[in-house]
Structure 1
């Protein structure tokens, strides 16, 4: 019996696909669920207990309003993958290869700018001026606490009574800042952190081969169609009196 000189290598298992990182607004999700509960409760109650045209008006209102609430609260999301950024806004889905993106800009809204000059707003990553202000206040407190701690350490090294007082005040200020000991980065609002993550991904991926391509835009007909149908039904009901 002869044995083969070599054995064929066993096929390697395919590399696991990396899932997209998803960014959504927790406040939008919570508000959307609450609104849907209230709207469905009132609408179904009118459908069951209403008289005359009331059930029809309630039905048309539900067909019109429910998709709009879903579109502006539950639907928006940003999907960050290795090859592209996919932006799901209320009425459109925009797929942007990283190579076609020029910048991710933050102002009164967060938006992505393409090489062609087109701008697309990131509905799932809303700007909160209040959150930015809170982050700025926390950063100022943390900086003041750090200065106090540094002064306290200098005072303890000098051995003077004044240094002891500075150290005590610095420790109290650090507790008020309420920041993790291992967190040495700048204090930022959550949506600003999301934009920082997206910019880092853009810097890593924009020149890679799979990240090249064309920007595509798809209308969300699953949202637009029922909204139009509900609006037409309401118009007919009001027209016939």
Structure 2
């Protein structure tokens, strides 16, 4: 059977995103989320799909699980995979989610006691063209709380690298300071967070699933030793080791 034309595929994907978007929970759903020190949270996960330079078909799907609050690695899973969906801006999840979901399912089957209670995704959640980025997609399909943390600003829904945005970044004085990312509709889609005193460059946090934005921002800051939250930093470290580089 031949692949559907690109236009038909996009319509199919948009419809799927709209359907799954209705299932996103933008509020806290777990007891530990309401605790000032996240009491009851013991395991945090991080996921990413990394590519070999010059190869857009083969990739490495990676999952790490860290203890909380000491952020020590409890579990690592790296699997080479062959991608079947094309890369199309705004539809990254259809290319990456199946493999990240498989990694979580392998862990649940083989070592269920290490399943993370929340997953940090190297990408966006509600801060997305149609308010359904990779962190939302993975969250809904896995049923786990997910947080999207992006290193670069997605210029979408009226949010852009304006002078005002740059001045807001400059006003972030210390780790934990943040400001809202407000779309053209007036909705807060995420927050820019100065995640560490050591880094003046923010990360962009948005809800994936089963967590409120304020809790997602607070948890991201709590998991940062440096600019990037430790679960994602550990995944990126695995990627660079595989490429013979240093973080």
Q: TM-score range by the shorter chain?
A: under 0.3
| TM-score after normalising by structure 1 | 0.20
Which structure's relative contact order is higher, taking Cα pairs within 8 Å and 6+ residues apart? 1
